Amino acid sequence: MSDTIYEQIMAIRKMPNCPNMFDTNSVQQLANSHNFFELVIFIEENKREYSEFILSGKRGENNE
- Is residue 64 within 8 Å of 58, Cβ to Cβ? yes
Domains in the chain: boundaries = 1-8+20-64
Question: Whole-structure pTM over 0.95, yes or no?
Answer: no
**What is the per-residue pLDDT across 31-43, written as a single tens digit (0 to 9) for each?**
999 999 999 999 9
Q: What percent of the chain has pLDDT over 90?
A: 81
2: three-class secondary structure by DSSP: coil
SS3 assignment for 10-64: HHHHHCCCCCCCCCHHHHHHHHHHCCCHHHHHHHHHCHHHHHHHHHHCCCCCCCC
